[in-house]
Amino acid sequence: MVNAPIISIVGATASGKTNLSIDLAQQFSGEIISADSAQVRRGMHIGTAAPTPEEMLRIRHHLVGVTDPNSEWTLVDWLESVNSAIREIRARSNLPLLVGGTGQYVWAFLEGREAPKVPPNQEFRRKMEEKAKDPIVDLHESLRLKDPTSAARIHPNNLPRIIRALEIITATRKPVPLLVKRPPDTESVIIGLEWSRESLFDRADRRVEMMFQAGLVEETMNLAKIYGDNSEGFRAIGYREALSVGKGELTVEAAIEQTKIATHKLIRSQSGWFRSDDSRINWLSCENLSRNQLFAEAVTIVEQALF
């Protein structure tokens, strides 16, 4: 499948991307590439809902557990790695399946964006995040004053992108450069998993409860012993709350509630990356579909692209 299309499966947290991707990979001799900014971290299994060891034995996965929790990892790193993975998959005549909910990763690749090679400045990001908590501070307005073009294309509620833009401007003393787009050399087929907001919140809440029951606090504290409790990976939702439990700063019940709230916020943010009116995405309504029915609909979309 040297020139086969890249099949992408996108959607919000807890929408069922992992199950569908594994089913499709088995059907079409596929290999899965994770487009999840937290799953790249080693040892962070429970809180990222990473594929299980059994699932990874059945289907080859890429970009899961490839860097330490305390290592820097940027969009540039991911783009370089995903392109390398696709070459390897095609060399084996298998089908690449790009799967994840990190919209910045997915669209950067599918639209062929080249990210500015400015390394992350964690101290700067923490300062900006603290400033953003002040109701009288408007970071989007700060960005507009420094770089109106960037402010116009970044939604005021997309705090990570606003902070990243300010980070680039601070480092280079120039506006964020316009991205050069070099789209992939083959067709992309995007399948989106659609749920009502209420259903997603309910599914995510149940997942959060299961993660804490499965030992998220223990996983987090074991990683903290190895990599330190200020590791970049602990910025991921669930880990910072679990760390607070391990330090005696939060009860488990409070940590679960805070994680649910943060996950709801993430789901709302993901809806901005994967819009229901985006004609590039083949949306499948999951509300009343069984796993087999969802699989059958997805198979039809993939077959139309392949044959």
pTM exceeding the 0.75 threshold for the entire prediction: yes
pLDDT digits (tens, 9 = 90+) for 254-279: 999 999 999 999 999 999 999 999 99
Length of the chain: 307
pLDDT digits (tens, 9 = 90+) for 226-253: 999 888 899 899 999 999 999 999 999 9
Torsion 146-147-152-158 (CA) sign? negative
What lies within 8 Å, CB to CB, of 176 at 6+ separation is: 116, 147, 149, 150, 165, 168, 169
Q: Phi/psi at 246 (nearest 5 deg)?
A: -60, -30
pLDDT digits (tens, 9 = 90+) for 66-98: 999 998 788 888 998 998 999 999 999 999 999
**Percent of the residues in the chain that have a pLDDT greater than 70, as a whole number:** 95
What lies within 8 Å, CB to CB, of 234 at 6+ separation is: 69, 220, 223, 224, 240, 243
- Short-list 186, 29, 1, CA closest to 93: 1
The pLDDT value recorded for residue 112 is: 84
Cα–Cα distance measured from residue 270 to residue 274, given in angstroms and rounded to the nearest whole number: 6
pLDDT bucket at 282, cuts 50 / 70 / 90? very high
**Residue 134: strand, helix, or coil:** coil
What domains, with CATH codes, occur in the chain?
Answer: 6-114+181-306 (3.40.50.300), 122-172 (1.10.20.140)
Reply yes or no on whether the pLDDT at 2 is more than 80: no
Average pLDDT over residues 164-184: 81
